Structure 1
Amino acid sequence: MIVQSLLGEFLHEAENTRKLLNAIPDDALDWKPSETSWTTGQLASHIAEIYNWYDVTLHQDVFDMATYKYDKGDISKASNIVAKFEENVKKAQESLEAAKDENMMNEWKMTMGSDEPVFPVMPRAIVARGFLMNHLYHHRGEMIVYLRSTGNKVPGLYGPTYEESMR
């Protein structure tokens, strides 16, 4: 029941992520709102990369970020970022479909080169919602601001956007 619930949300929200990533034009990829912020391309790449974390989160008890190999691919074109997203979302869906309800309450932790957790140890189901899904939604919200700030159209994710509703 837990896995099926997560899978339903995953499939729905992956489509929203796809719409958002497909709305990014190449000429916006180098823009960033401040010196300390990521560029649009870096943020989009991070959004695509979060889907690569499903397997280790759902099928291992510890995720050591110190050993993780981040593969953002070529972020010079939006289509490359979308391709990386498609690759990662396919693997994430397979990992979620292979997950077992009886393991979803097992404790999970993230470390950074030691045995000390980066944040509190939690049941895997909670981590799937917070670390994978909610984290992704947070960055999608940032991307919406980036797109609007560069004068680009934002797709409606949960209904029409303000601009769409004014037509």
Structure 2
Amino acid sequence: MQLIPVFLTELEQETQTTRKMLQRIPDDKYDWKPHEKSMTVRQLATHIANLPTWVTMAIATDGLDFEANPYKEDEINNTAELMTYLETCLADGKSLLVPESEAVLNDPWTLRSGAEIYFTSPKHEVIRTALNQIVHHRAQMGVFLRLLDIPIPGSYGPSADEN
């Protein structure tokens, strides 16, 4: 079974739902967070929009070392910028989802911080994790929006706000 077409289809489908969620963020709520330990709306939204680039990173590299390359999200200041950023990150994420990439999907990929290894997995599992993270953090954003009394769009069918 070829995985690249599966990943490409899923990335496209999940991005459709992600667009609906992110476009509802009011510009005046970017610094809001529901709890002191939570990310701000800005941090969470930027992370969600950026996650497709992890597909490219998984295919193009052998890993990520936070000690050597501290991870820093771009700063987004409003929803118009966020939507443009999402499209840029989606294009990046799709850029290596090409048939030639099938050959590397079983190669190992390692997430670490210096000598501390968090995990080593085949690249296809790292891509799966990135796609899962989009869904996970998008649901988290749904909670943020609910707490702000902003109607939630449906994900895999209508939401309670759409019925």
Per the normalisation by structure 1, the TM-score is 0.88
Query: Could you tell me which residue of structure 1 aligns to residue 85 of structure 2?
Result: 84
Unaligned runs of 5+ in 1: none
Q: Is the 1:29–1:39 Cα contact (8 Å) retained in structure 2?
A: yes
Q: What amino acid sits opposite 1:117 in the alignment? A: I
Deviations 1:39-66 (A, max 9, x none): 1111101111212222221121122233
| Structural RMSD (CA) | 1.7
SS of the residue aligned with 1:152? coil
Equivalent residues in 2 for 1:1-167, closer than 5 Å:
1-66=2-67, 67-68=69-70, 70-73=72-75, 75-97=76-98, 100-114=101-115, 116-119=116-119, 121-130=120-129, 132-165=130-163
Per the normalisation by structure 2, the TM-score is 0.90
Q: Within 1, Cα distance between the matches of 2:66 and 2:89?
A: 17
- Greater percentage in helix: 1
More displaced 10-residue stretch of structure 1: 33-42 or 95-104 = 95-104
More displaced 10-residue stretch of structure 1: 26-35 or 141-150 = 26-35
Q: Is the 1:3–1:99 Cα contact (8 Å) retained in structure 2?
A: no
Deviations 1:2-22 (A, max 9, x none): 111111111111111111111
How many aligned residue pairs are there? 161
Amino-acid identity (%): 32
Q: Is the 2:46–2:73 Cα contact (8 Å) retained in structure 1?
A: no
Q: Within 1, Cα distance between the matches of 2:98 and 2:19?
A: 20
Measured after TM superposition, the shift of residue 99 of structure 1 is 5.2
Q: Is the 2:54–2:93 Cα contact (8 Å) retained in structure 1?
A: yes
More displaced 10-residue stretch of structure 1: 17-26 or 48-57 = 48-57
Q: What amino acid sits opposite 1:138 in the alignment? A: H
More displaced 10-residue stretch of structure 1: 49-58 or 87-96 = 49-58
SS of the residue aligned with 1:162? coil
Q: Within 2, Cα distance between the matches of 1:44 and 1:24?
A: 9
SS of the residue aligned with 1:102? helix
SS of the residue aligned with 2:110? strand
SS of the residue aligned with 1:105? coil
